[in-house]
Structure 1
Amino acid sequence: MTARTDATARLEDARAFVEAAETIDTLNDAESYADVIATLAIHAGIAASDVFCLLTRGQHSKSENHADAVNLLKTAGGDSAALSRLLGEKTKAGYNVKSLTRAKATKCLQWAGKLLSAAEEKYGQP
């Protein structure tokens, strides 16, 4: 596999995660869906960051340490702040008993959207 091939697969993942999150957000306005929407957005942001790093650095982070992914994206020239904010919500959205708010889930979607847009722009460059 090449970095471009891997980036293609991760870009498809990022788009699918965003689409799923937006669909759930549109179809159900219950507060109880905030964690689901945020988790999908977080995974979209991670996948989009992988695309950016694969296309600029030829690699993406496979570390269990979120700081490593943020640092790699930063060295690649990507929006490491957006990824850091998303990853800061990951445990809260995915593992805590207390749910995130819909407002926070919306922010997660916005951050993921920024990362996805940057990945798509980078992917479109020769």
Structure 2
Amino acid sequence: MSARSDAHARLEDARAFLESARTIDTLNDEESYADVIATNAVHAGIAAADVVCLLALGQHSKAENHADAVKMLREAGGDTAALSRLLSEKTKAGYNIKSLTRTKAAKCIEWAGKLLQAAEGTYAEH
């Protein structure tokens, strides 16, 4: 597969993850859904960052270390602040006993939305 076709697949993933986060946020007002919303938003942001990296660098980070993904996105000229913020919530949302707040989940949606918007712009330019 080419970097462009891989970027297309990751762009579709990013859109689906973000749509899922937004849908769950809209349909469920319980605090207990915050982790699920945030986790979907985090995955949307990661997929969106992959799009930018694939198109700018021909590859994306596959490392377990989140710092590597941020470094690669920086090399690609992407929004590392939004990705860093999302990644800082990933472990809290996915593995901690104490849930995130709905306010934090909403911020995750916002950060993922910024990354998706950038990915869509990058994809359109290439």
- Could you tell me which residue of structure 2 aligns to residue 100 of structure 1? 100
Question: Deviation at 1:2?
Answer: 0.3
- Could you tell me which residue of structure 2 aligns to residue 77 of structure 1? 77
TM-score (norm 2): 0.99
Listed one character per residue, the Cα deviations across residues 13-34 of structure 1 (whole Å, up to 9, x for unaligned) are: 0000000110000001100000
Q: Secondary structure at the match of 1:112?
A: helix
Percent identity, aligned pairs only, is 75
* Matched residue type, 2:90: K
When the two structures are aligned, how many residues end up with a matched partner? 126
Distance in structure 2 (CA, Å) of the matches to 1:95 and 1:40 = 14
- Could you tell me which residue of structure 2 aligns to residue 29 of structure 1? 29
TM-score (norm 1): 0.99
Distance in structure 2 (CA, Å) of the matches to 1:21 and 1:90 = 14
Distance in structure 1 (CA, Å) of the matches to 2:83 and 2:120 = 16
Question: Deviation at 1:54?
Answer: 0.3
Distance in structure 2 (CA, Å) of the matches to 1:108 and 1:74 = 20
Distance in structure 2 (CA, Å) of the matches to 1:83 and 1:125 = 21
* Matched residue type, 1:87: L
* Matched residue type, 1:113: G
Q: Secondary structure at the match of 1:97?
A: coil
Question: Deviation at 1:101?
Answer: 0.1
- Could you tell me which residue of structure 1 aligns to residue 49 of structure 2? 49
Distance in structure 1 (CA, Å) of the matches to 2:94 and 2:12 = 22
CA RMSD of aligned residues (A): 0.5
Q: Which runs of 4+ in 1 moved over 3 A?
A: none
Distance in structure 2 (CA, Å) of the matches to 1:60 and 1:92 = 24
- Could you tell me which residue of structure 1 aligns to residue 16 of structure 2? 16
* Matched residue type, 1:27: L
- Could you tell me which residue of structure 1 aligns to residue 60 of structure 2? 60
